[in-house]
């Protein structure tokens, strides 16, 4: 339990991705089986207990501590499990249980015996291990690392690609003995034959001007880049799965898609909310993504569909070695044969040269279109992000001139710099209202300039946040604007980033909120936060 607890503790406070990877590698390298397998399960969200309720852990604590002192302490700490972990009086000499021991005993302990078992463990654990234990058994464990990150760390440790781990992952269960046997060289790669496992996806690079100039346009095929999320549909005799491009299994959230997958194969496409073949704004899809299991109303109001653009397997036939053009023929043939409901084909856009596509890209203003995809006709389906075969050519962003309102210190490398900015636009009544937050887009020099500016123009402080004089104008680029009932302004921006510092512009000449609202497409309510960009 202790090494696992120490790992969790460090992950909580470690913002950097590379640093998290180093911590995970160190843990997986030095922790024996099957403990590390259960730790991996905890990170992947495959290990959860709900045996203990909060009332129970409060009870075992107040059995030992004066209730008044407990109440004040809880008030001070603010988290029940943490309060119990810290307040637990003096520990007994002894060895903290191993994670695998905890898992084994929890699975066979009747509920009535749990308080005594738990208290016995708590006595021999240190505060970090007590906290990890309490979070684990109440189902409240939050790990500061994703399953994907853990797989990358495992891959680095064993010298295999994380994507190779993904290929076998969904055929395995905690504590993943065959996986660790393979990674330690004790056994061959586990055979996922027949299981509906994830296949590593092929990703695109953004097309910059220099790339565009050098491109052999005739060798490429073009498709619209739809503003949904990239998914992989896997159906075999053993089951059906819907995965994100990072191998997250989102099958449960989209039962109607699963129901439509009456085939045997692996397909690649864009998950969208579609009404009568019309693609709804991303915010509509976000509503669905926020729900683990949607109700009938949700299914009716936000109907999901998939726009297919590639085929990886037709039955057991692995097509990934074929060229894009050949796969496209197979995809069209497959589609004609199956005609699966809720799915259509991503159309190829005919074009004669770069000018044609540039015009199309410029003209595309529908919120559901992010730009164009360019795929080389003779390229096989390659895992990862090889440079050259696939490009994403996003349409030029929209911009607004907004006023900096608040600045917050960043994380990691930027923890001493004010690098997270809240900006606002003018409302009709002359009030400045925040419309979004941005923390990227500018150079280190520009960052240093804003940091200095913030320190010199602070008018109030709230913890890590500084409110500044409303006088610095920032040009903000964004991909789309949507109405939002979560923001005071009623507007949410998709992918906002700072494109320029407008020291030349007086704050009162910054944009009006109304002019932003005017750019919102007619339908769609954006409620949640935007997702990481797919593709």
Where on the chain is the footprint of other proteins (CB under 8 A)?
A: 6, 10, 12-15, 19, 22-23, 26, 65-66, 68-70, 72-73, 76-79, 82-83, 86-87, 89-90, 126-127, 409, 413, 415-417, 463-464
Residue 252 DSSP one-character state: G
Query: Residue 238 is encoded by which pair of tokens?
Result: 């053993």
Instruction: Report the residue number, 125 or 516, with the smaller CB distance to other proteins.
Output: 125
Separation CA 39–CA 23 (nearest Å): 13
Least separation in angstroms between CB 74 and other proteins: 9
Instruction: Report the residue number, 452 or 488, with the smaller CB distance to other proteins.
Output: 452
Instruction: Report the residue number, 20 or 328, with the smaller CB distance to other proteins.
Output: 20
Which parts of 132-256 are beta strand (E)? Answer: 205-206, 220-226, 229-236, 239-244
Separation CA 109–CA 116 (nearest Å): 10
Least separation in angstroms between CB 68 and other proteins: 6
Q: Do the strands 265-275 and 390-394 form a parallel or antiparallel pair, or are they unpaired?
A: unpaired
Least separation in angstroms between CB 13 and other proteins: 5
Least separation in angstroms between CB 7 and other proteins: 11
Least separation in angstroms between CB 117 and other proteins: 23
Task: Give the distance from CA 430 to its chain's centroid.
Answer: 38
Task: Give the distance from CA 485 to its chain's centroid.
Answer: 22
Instruction: Report the residue number, 69 or 116, with the smaller CB distance to other proteins.
Output: 69
Instruction: Report the residue number, 15 or 321, with the smaller CB distance to other proteins.
Output: 15
Instruction: Report the residue number, 79 or 211, with the smaller CB distance to other proteins.
Output: 79
Least separation in angstroms between CB 184 and other proteins: 20
Under 8 Å between Cβ of 210 and 391:
no
Scan for tokens 């007619």, then name that residue: 522
Least separation in angstroms between CB 127 and other proteins: 7
Under 8 Å between Cβ of 232 and 198:
yes
What b/e sequence results for 378-397 when a residue is b if at least 16 CB atoms lie within 10 Å of its CB, and e otherwise?
ebbbbbeeeeebbbbbbbeb
Q: Which of 230, 228, 204, 224 is nearest to 347 (CA)?
A: 224
Query: Residue 127 is encoded by which pair of tokens?
Result: 């505060």
User: Which residues are CB-neighbours of 162 under 8 A, at least 6 positions away?
Assistant: 148, 151, 152, 154, 155
Instruction: Report the residue number, 12 or 329, with the smaller CB distance to other proteins.
Output: 12
């Amino acid at each position: 339990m202790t090494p696992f607890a120490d790992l969790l503790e460090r992950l909580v406070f470690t913002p950097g991705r590379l640093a998290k990877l180093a911590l995970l590698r160190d843990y997986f390298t030095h922790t024996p089986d099957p403990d590390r397998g259960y730790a991996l399960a905890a990170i992947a969200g495959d290990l959860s207990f709900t045996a203990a309720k909060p009332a129970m852990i409060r009870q075992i604590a107040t059995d030992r501590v004066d209730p008044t002192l407990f109440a004040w302490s809880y008030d001070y700490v603010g988290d029940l499990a943490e309060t119990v972990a810290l307040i637990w009086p003096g520990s007994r000499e002894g060895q903290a249980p191993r994670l695998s021991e905890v898992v084994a005993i929890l699975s066979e302990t009747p509920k009535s015996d749990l308080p005594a078992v738990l208290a016995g463990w708590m006595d021999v654990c240190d505060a970090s291990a007590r906290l990890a234990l309490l979070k684990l058994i109440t189902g409240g464990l939050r790990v500061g690392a994703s399953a994907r990150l853990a797989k990358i760390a495992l891959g680095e440790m064993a010298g295999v690609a994380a994507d190779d781990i993904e290929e076998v992952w969904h055929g395995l269960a905690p504590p993943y003995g065959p996986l660790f046997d393979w990674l330690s060289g004790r056994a061959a790669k586990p055979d996922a034959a027949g299981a509906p496992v994830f296949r590593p996806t092929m990703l695109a690079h953004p097309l910059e001007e220099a790339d565009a100039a050098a491109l052999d346009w005739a060798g490429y095929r073009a498709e619209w880049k739809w503003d949904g999320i990239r998914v992989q549909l896997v159906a075999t005799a053993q089951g059906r799965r819907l995965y994100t491009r990072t191998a997250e299994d989102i099958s449960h959230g989209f039962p109607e898609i699963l129901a439509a997958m009456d085939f045997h194969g692996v397909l690649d496409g864009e998950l969208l909310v579609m009404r009568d073949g019309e693609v709804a704004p991303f915010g509509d899809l976000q509503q669905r993504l926020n729900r683990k299991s949607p109700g009938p109303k949700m299914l009716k109001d936000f109907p999901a569909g998939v726009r297919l653009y590639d085929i990886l397997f037709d039955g057991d036939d692995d097509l990934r070695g074929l060229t894009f053009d050949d796969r496209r023929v197979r995809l069209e043939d497959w589609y004609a044969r199956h005609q699966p409901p809720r799915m259509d084909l991503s159309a190829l856009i005919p074009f004669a040269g770069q000018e044609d596509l540039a015009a199309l890209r410029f003209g595309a203003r529908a919120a559901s279109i992010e730009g164009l995809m360019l795929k080389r006709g003779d390229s096989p389906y390659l895992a990862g992000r090889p440079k050259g075969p696939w490009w994403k050519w996003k349409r030029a962003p929209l911009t607004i001139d907004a006023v900096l309102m608040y600045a917050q210190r960043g994380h990691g490398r930027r923890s001493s710099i004010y690098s997270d900015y809240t900006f606002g636009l003018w409302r009709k009544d002359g009030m400045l209202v925040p419309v979004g937050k941005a923390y990227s887009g500018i150079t280190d020099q520009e960052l240093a300039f804003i940091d200095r500016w913030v320190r010199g123009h602070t008018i109030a402080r709230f913890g890590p946040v500084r409110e500044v004089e409303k006088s610095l104008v920032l040009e903000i680029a964004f991909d789309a604007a949507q109405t939002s009932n979560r923001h005071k302004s009623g507007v949410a921006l998709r992918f906002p980033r700072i494109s320029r510092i407008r020291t030349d512009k007086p704050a009162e000449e910054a944009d009006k909120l109304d002019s932003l609202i005017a750019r919102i497409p007619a339908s769609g309510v954006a409620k949640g936060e935007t997702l990481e960009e797919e593709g």
